[in-house]
Structure 1
Amino acid sequence: MGAAPRPPRRGATRPPAARTIIVTAVLALVAVYFLVPVYWVVVAASKSTEDLFTTNGFWFAGFQLLENIGQVFAFDDGLFVRWFLNSLLYAGGGALVATYLAAAGGYALAVYDFKGRNLVFGLILGGVLVPGTATALPLFLLFSNLGLTDNYLGVLLPSFVSPFGFFLCRIFAGAVVPASLVESARLDGAGELRIFHTFGLRMMVPALVTVFLFQFVGIWNNYLLPLIMLADEQLYPITVGLVNWRAQTDRLPEFYELTTAGVLVSVVPLIALMVVLQRFWRGGLTEGSVKG
């Protein structure tokens, strides 16, 4: 006969079954809330304009996804491809520069003790609270006086600044970059820039990936700033271009197929980026919880 099961140790607790069920149900509802729109986009992108309005919106009918995607890339001599590359430039370039500047600024505030440091950090916190829509018109007026509208710089330059990234890097650098390591590197003769690039950036990788991800998604989905900055459709990002297509559906119904398929293609880079970077993001959250 086997040994009798040992009773649970005193003080050991098991999560109540009801609580586990409730948490699981809430997570399932949240997952459904976010996945249903994606599912609808996939279904809508696979239909013709007629099927889109005559069949169930959540069920496939007359599957022609590949044909619709082919039309998207072929329409108007590949105009969508130009929009796609523009979005990659705006989001990729803007996110890279913004991440580096946020890392440098956050590292400086965390490592160096100088007069006015708290004031600078307070101003950054204030910048986090200001929505981008509130600064779009002033930026347009300023850039218009400088002759920077209707070109790539009109969208790129505002993307180089991320108050949230600055704030996050300041907090993370203060937690993971030890002062003793910086002092040891200085005693060994290393310069400040070398210390930052050799030790600081490597220790801040989880935070940098998080900042890059947030900034990339924010720029990729940005609509208002490119709308007021750009007049040439060759410079449009995907967001403005798709809205332009959607505005033509009333007189040209075939634009429904282009718009729905274009929306599906536009979310692919975001999904791929999330899948590739999620392990770094998860590591950053774990690092923050340990340091906290």
Structure 2
Amino acid sequence: MTATGTTVTPSSPSLPRPVPRTPRLLRHRSPGRPRRSVLLTVLTSLVVLYTLVPLAWLFINATKTQPKLLDSFGLWFSGHFALWDNIRETFTYNDHIFVRWLLNTLLYVVAGAGGATFLAVLGGYGLAKFDFPGKRGVFAVVIGAVAVPGTALAVPTFLMFSKVGLTNTPWAVIIPSLISPFGLYLMWVFASEAIPDELLEAARVDGSGEIRTFFRISLPLLAPGIVTVLLFTMVATWNNYFLPLIMIKDPDWYPLTVGLNAWNAQASTVGGQPVFHLVITGSLLTIVPLIAAFLLLQRYWQSGLAAGSVKE
């Protein structure tokens, strides 16, 4: 007790303050490292397998002869590697008809897919950057056309083309391929966001005409969208089967899809010779140009993503 009469309590010894423990799951995770999901990894692996297994089967069986296709396991090679022999036989079989089908397909893709992309770019740019009466109606028609599958229009198109005498000609495949409602809608949406209105107004103030503004200013900005539409229309035209099947009866104008199906049907015809090894090899050769196109054009997608990442 002190002189003032107050009681002094003895000071308790200082205890160490508890240190917060880092949770076990968060201790070794860096701030920028995303969290892993086992379920997402499993689903992604299943999708990759679902995509790659048919390609692996196609390549493996393209290395086999006709007898080995029936008495060997489908997902493993046989004793004799016959890929180069099958490729040579595919190109020379039936008086080089496969080469003719390949050229026909290239014609349909260049004229049909190229024309569809060009029209989609012009239409999408005009709908995105110009106002005119009936624009809402055009939008409704485009959305409705996107919802209608192409196979539903194949028979009416055949009846219309048969009246004007265009069936069994390349125009019966090229002209319907020029219409791409999805490509038009995609370019409409892309042009609305990729091209600032202020940039077009500045070009008009400087005295630039609409055509010059489109080709010198707008078209380079639309490159990623153009490549996207081109790839979509190219794949659709390259893999088009039902429309050429009902439009073309002359084998000399067949595309690859219809021609390979004709080879495949030889086994079920009277006196027909099965050529399944040529069908498989031809199918493998068919997908090579598509893979090459994706690899060559992917840099335009990358440039578009890089430009969009720094856009204010």
TM-score normalised by L of structure 1 = 0.91
Q: 1:119 to 1:291 in 2, by over 3 A?
A: farther
Q: Do the aligned partners of 1:175 and 1:291 also contact (CA within 8 Å) in 2?
A: no
Q: 1:284 to 1:161 in 2, by over 3 A?
A: farther
1:188 Cα offset (Å): 2.1
1:197 Cα offset (Å): 1.5
1:24 Cα offset (Å): 2.6
1:179 Cα offset (Å): 1.1
CA RMSD across the alignment: 2.1
Distance in 1 of aligned mates of 2:231 and 2:90: 27
Distance in 1 of aligned mates of 2:273 and 2:239: 25
For 1:270, which of 278, 290, 294 is the aligned residue?
A: 290
Paired residues for 1:122-141 under 5 Å: 122-141=140-159
Q: Do the aligned partners of 2:121 and 2:184 also contact (CA within 8 Å) in 1?
A: yes
For 2:278, which of 258, 270, 273 is the aligned residue?
A: 258
Gaps of 5+ in 1: 1-6
1:180 is matched with 198
1:257 Cα offset (Å): 1.6
1:15 Cα offset (Å): 3.5
Please say if 1:95 is aligned against 2:113.
yes
For 1:242, which of 257, 260, 265 is the aligned residue?
A: 260
- Secondary structure in structure 2 of the residue aligned to 1:55: coil
Please say if 1:221 is aligned against 2:239.
yes
For 1:144, which of 162, 169, 188 is the aligned residue?
A: 162
| 1:267 counterpart letter in structure 2 | I
1:94 Cα offset (Å): 1.2
Paired residues for 1:179-198 under 5 Å: 179-198=197-216
Q: Do the aligned partners of 2:264 and 2:274 also contact (CA within 8 Å) in 1?
A: no
Paired residues for 1:26-41 under 5 Å: 26-41=43-58
Distance in 2 of aligned mates of 1:80 and 1:238: 8
1:189 Cα offset (Å): 2.1
Answer 1 or 2: which has greater helix percent.
1
1:286 Cα offset (Å): 6.2
For 1:58, which of 49, 67, 75 is the aligned residue?
A: 75
Distance in 1 of aligned mates of 2:151 and 2:251: 21
1:281 Cα offset (Å): 2.9
Please say if 1:279 is aligned against 2:296.
no
1:288 Cα offset (Å): 6.4
Q: 1:163 to 1:291 in 2, by over 3 A?
A: farther
- Secondary structure in structure 2 of the residue aligned to 1:190: coil
1:44 is matched with 61
Distance in 1 of aligned mates of 2:262 and 2:228: 31
1:3 is matched with none
Paired positions, count: 282
RCO higher in structure (CA 8 A, sep ≥6): 1
Distance in 1 of aligned mates of 2:261 and 2:172: 20
Distance in 1 of aligned mates of 2:190 and 2:244: 32
2:21 is matched with none
Distance in 1 of aligned mates of 2:202 and 2:288: 45
Distance in 2 of aligned mates of 1:211 and 1:231: 30
Select the structure of larger CA radius of gyration: 2
